[in-house]
Structure 1
Amino acid sequence: MSTQDQPADINFFKGHPSFRLLPGKQIAEAAKELLTPDIRDFDDDTRNRHPLTYGSDEGALWVRETICHFNNDEAFRLSPGDRARSKPEHLNLNSGASYGVLSILLETTLAHTGYTRQAFVITPTYFLINDCFIDAGFANKTTAIDELGDGKVDLDSLEKKLEELEKQHEGQDDSKDLELINNPWKSTHKKVYRYVLYCIPTFANPSGQTYTLETRRRLIEIARKYDMLILADDVYDMLDYEQNVDKSPQPIKRFVHLDRETNEDPNSFGNTISNATFSKLIAPGLRFGYHESITQKLVFQLSQGGANTSGGTPSQLNSMIVGTMLKNGSAYNVLATLRAAYKQRAIALRQAVITYLPKGTQMEPVKGGYFGWVTLPLGYDAKEIGQRLKSKYGVVLADGSNFEVVGDTRNWGQRSVRISISFLETQDIEKGIELWGQVCKEFAAEKSLY
């Protein structure tokens, strides 16, 4: 049993919606609307197909069109002539962000032979992403890159490491390695990148940081220079609490938008992939998301993976349920409900931290997403305090040790803690932080920190 699932009176580890926020009625109504007719006008269309049969490899065309309308016109509000606009052929539907990451790594990198030389992961990072990289062969080939705050990332260190790796492999011919992953019966050949970088660029898990446009553009320039794929988990950017919660939020442009609008080659695979999901916007149990690349080249490659072509798109039914919710408007209502609830919790968390935790505790306001990143003052041991808090009061914290990059750690567990606002109601957030503050006082008295 993982730490986030352990029984607790108050669990700040859980990163999913409160059960009362799960839109069972809306999903049931969308499923009924989709499945009640004996015939739909797309049932025999090979690009779409019946919702209960095997789907097309890329996923239903009408669902991809609906997602593009949602992103282009309702969310990012891109003008008709903006080159950043998404098209259906830029999307590959999949079974959610976690499977999306692994399929990207398996289909675009080749770590086992050394062809893909290194993975970079922004730290602190999502606590389960390490396993995906290890599964893809990147054990001992992963480097942590630090967030610097204010929407910045340590890109100087990244480029220095890339230059070192390039010198180490200068003159090396490993092109034959690609024969291992290309089917000789197929005319197309896979694009495999020399490097890959993983990040959560908007309302990051766990830090809550959002990278500036300047940071994003410079990172794309570095990726193009070194044949690196930026794997962006675009899972929280619609959960914005500073904008009006009664209207669709307008997120900052994604990496894939910026890459597309500045790339002049219509046949390019690009250097970015957006790994997006509806788990955070509707419900995680749907297990439905999508990849987006700057042209159809890279997402088509992802759609042609062996498991995908065997059964077609992995979430045929659920993708159409989500598509129906986007069309009938219920998805917008669900998103508004989530944002309103999370905004109140974010405010309550901020106030509780100020009220109950030691003077000098650092936490930026939660402007979006699921998480607040709290750093206790010098002298406090966040991990030990968390253990005492769980033992004495049944309150579970996610100390910073959970958000390290395997093999390149930063000792985040010494003073930092990730607090989730998605699962707990406001009163539980306030009570949990109050109890945490009480344990901090007891710890400070023992260690003479006053």
Structure 2
Amino acid sequence: MTPPQSQPPPAKKETKKKKQINLLRGWPAHSLLPATALRTASQRALSDPAVFEPGLEYGPDPGYEPLREALSKWLSAFYTFSSPFSPSSPSSPPPSKFNNNNNNNNSKYSHPPDPARLTITGGASQSVACVLQSFTDPALTRAVWMVAPCYFLACPIFADAGFADTGLGGRLRAVPEDEEGIDLGFLERGLRAVDGEWEASAGRKEEGGSGSGSGYKDPGPYRKIYRHVIYCVPSFANPSGKTMSLARREGLVRLAREFDALVVCDDVYDHLQWRSNTTLATTTTTSSSSSSPPPPSSPTKALLPRLVDIDLTLGASRFDPPSSSSSSSSSSSSLTFGHVVSNGSFSKLSGPGVRTGWTESTPAFAHGMSQTGSTRSGGAPSQLTATIVAEMLASGDLDAHIEGTLKPAYQRRHALLVAAIERCLVAPPLGARVRGWRSLVAKDGIASRGSVGAEEEYIFGGFFVWVSFDPESGIPPARAIADRCLAEENLMIGPGDLFEVHGDEASARFRHDMRFCFAWEDEADLVEGVERLARVIGRMVEEGKDGRVWVNEGGGDGGGGGGGQGNIDLMK
């Protein structure tokens, strides 16, 4: 008897996996990298012995001098404010509580070029590590204060410098922000509390100066050890997109000078700014024709002074080493370390792989920075690429790339992303709120924080948009949404808990917030990514109505979801 032949199971229908859309990665798109300009600058640099001979050597401690000279002029021009501002100027908005540029408030913070204030670095992240090597000591520096939500990849840099949470009390402290930026009241209370605890545990009141007591490091005559470090991104912040108001900038510098704190400012997005308006932000589509009305022009100068400009204007503080009465003015100024360092980078302007940045500070601080041991031994960071960047500055190619390529592209991408968010996430039933995207308004004062309404012109910049959901709305936590987005839609987003300060998460939680980057993906994918996200949230809300409970609210180790720690190379 012939046994019955078994029938093969029906073939499963294969479903094509969707193209991945990554709204988490904070990189510039490949199409926006200035390869041609870099090639031209490289050819010029490597064809001239006067350039390539010093460029291929170790270089002076502060960095390649022609770049420092060109950069000092470039930065001074960008951060020089006319007096008074002209309301009709395309680069200057009329007064608001964010800029207060009447009564000459900004022009007093302009400074002439001075290469002595600059050092060339290997980029903003390497620069922070060098600052911590030279100007902090875990035995003497009491705390590191980070504006929250924070650029989370800065946390490991501070941890590596000895400020990790060891279980005996975190050294990284979160400081929340409101619509104007950092919460100065919260910060001041925290500074006073930590100082009180420190002095009580030491059993004595410290007398004047800084660096008293025993520490691990000898700052020598060229550096000092600060009691506190404050880390922030004042303009178009990563991740919130917010811009700190002038009043908050001035107040933060005053607090730093009162408590012997060093403010480390990542000023990496300042040159990427553009004008927009509510019409552009809600009507732009990927199919908009070239005949559409042109978007508003972009400012070509900074709208607000940097914190370092404010600090330089104020001069020496009581924590600077005293100078003798016989000191000349130049030697006296050499004792002024200041309380702010501006940390800049060409990564967002010419490409992250260029690995070249700068710091600007007082000349004394800059000299101390240049004496970091690894710099003195290994030579000036990015010496060869510094020659290439200097050629791009001298030729005008860098400015042309910023004004002709980067700002128009980011202006349009930002408008597309915000329009999609307004349509898919802000509109009922989800009711999300977009934070920070109109924090620097160009007319009619400060924009309403609600849904887009009357025509308002505002300034935005950087790479990121921050979105918040009402925790009581029934919408699941952002981490759970991110996991489902990756699993079901091949979409990566930045859940808010990723941007909590390591070791002090409880002080500022963001479990119902998300960060979106508009710099990496193409225009159509930005819109489709938001549409995919809305579909996932809609499905999860319906499941919640059936009694499902979302348990992964704590974030954990990331679990391979929309931005766990294992995906660090995708973030930035």
TM-score scaled by structure 1? Answer: 0.90
Question: Does the aligned pair in 2 maintain the 1:63–1:319 contact within 8 Å?
Answer: yes
1:240 & 1:11 partners in 2: Cα distance?
23
Report the equivalent of 1:3: none
Counterpart position of 1:250: 302
Do the aligned partners of residues 83 and 251 (structure 1) sit closer, same or farther apart at CA in structure 2, a change above 3 Å counting? Answer: closer
Question: What do the CA deviations read for 1:262-285 (whole angstroms, capped 9, x no partner)?
Answer: 225733100000111010111110
SS in 1 for 2:258: helix
Tell me which structure has the larger Cα radius of gyration.
2
Q: Could you tell me which residue of structure 2 aligns to residue 33 of structure 1?
A: 44
Q: Given the superposition, is the C-alpha separation of residues 101 and 257 from structure 1 closer, same or farther in structure 2, using an over 3 Å criterion?
A: same
Counterparts of 1:33 and 1:127, CA distance in 2: 38
1:282 to 350, 364, 376: 350
2:511 is aligned to 414
The answer to whether 1:442 aligns with 2:567 is no
**Which secondary structure state, in structure 2, belongs to the residue aligned with residue 177 of structure 1?**
coil
1:422-441 aligned at under 5 Å gives the runs 422-441=519-538
Alignment of 1:116-195 (within 5 A): 116-139=141-164, 140-149=170-179, 151-170=180-199, 171=204, 175-178=212-215, 180-182=216-218, 188-195=221-228
Question: Deviation at 1:371?
Answer: 0.2
SS of 1:363's partner is strand
Q: 2:466 matched to 1:373?
A: yes
User: Quick one: distance in 2 between partners of 1:284 and 1:443?
Assistant: 37
Asked if the contact 1:245/1:339 (under 8 Å) is kept, the reply is no
Residue in 1 that maps onto 2:376:
309
Q: CA deviation at 1:125?
A: 0.4
1:41-440 maps to which residues of 2 (within 5 A)?
A: 50-73=54-77, 75-78=78-81, 84-111=111-138, 113=139, 115-139=140-164, 140-149=170-179, 151-170=180-199, 171=204, 175-178=212-215, 180-182=216-218, 188-242=221-275, 248-263=300-315, 266=333, 267-293=335-361, 295-336=362-403, 337-357=405-425, 358-364=429-435, 365=437, 367-377=460-470, 378-381=473-476, 382-410=478-506, 412-440=509-537
**Contact residue 275 and residue 299 of structure 2 kept, 8 A:** no
2:92 aligns with: none
Offset of residue 110 of structure 1: 0.6
Q: Which amino acid aligns with 1:95?
A: G
Q: 1:236 aligns to what SS in structure 2?
A: coil
Distance 1:56 1:423 in 2: 36
Q: 1:384 to 1:72 in 2, by over 3 A?
A: same
> How many residues end up aligned between the 2 structures?
427
> Deviation at 1:106?
1.4
Once the two structures are TM-superposed, the CA of residue 168 in structure 1 deviates from its matched residue by 2.5
Q: What secondary structure is seen at the aligned counterpart in 1 of 2:273?
A: coil
Q: What percent of counterpart residues are identical?
A: 32
Q: 1:19 aligns with which of 6, 30, 37?
A: 30
Give the distance between the partners of 2:393 and 2:343, measured in 1 at CA: 19
Instruction: Report the Cα offset of residue 448 of structure 1.
Output: 3.2
When residues 328 and 371 of structure 1 are mapped into structure 2, their CA distance, relative to the original with a 3 A threshold, is same
Q: Is the 8 A contact 1:126 1:205 kept in 2?
A: yes
Letter in 2 for 1:361: A
C-alpha distance in structure 2 between counterparts of 1:386 and 1:311, whole Å: 42
Unaligned 5+ segments in structure 1 are: 1-6, 44-48
Q: Structure 2 unaligned runs (5+)?
A: 1-17, 83-106, 165-169, 277-295, 318-332, 439-459, 547-572
Mapped to 2, the partners of 1:69 and 1:77 lie a distance apart of 10
Shift of residue 413, structure 1, vs aligned partner: 4.8
Q: Whole-Å Cα distance in 1 between the matches of residues 151 and 19 of structure 2?
A: 22
**Separation in structure 1 between the aligned mates of residue 158 and residue 273 of structure 2, nearest angstrom:** 29
**Is the partner of 1:438 in helix, strand or coil?**
helix
Contact 1:288–1:318 (CA under 8 A) maintained in structure 2: yes
Q: Deviations over 1:340-359 (max 9, x none)?
A: 11110100011101111244
Q: Which amino acid aligns with 1:122?
A: V
Q: 1:131 to 1:245 in 2, by over 3 A?
A: farther
Alpha-carbon shift at residue 241 of structure 1 (Å):
1.8
Quote the offset at 1:415 in angstroms.
1.1
> Relative to 1, partners in 2 of residues 1:245 and 1:320: Cα closer, same or farther, differing over 3 Å?
farther
Q: Aligned to 2:72, what secondary structure does the other structure show?
A: helix
Aligned-partner SS, 1:280: helix
Measured after TM superposition, the shift of residue 242 of structure 1 is: 1.5
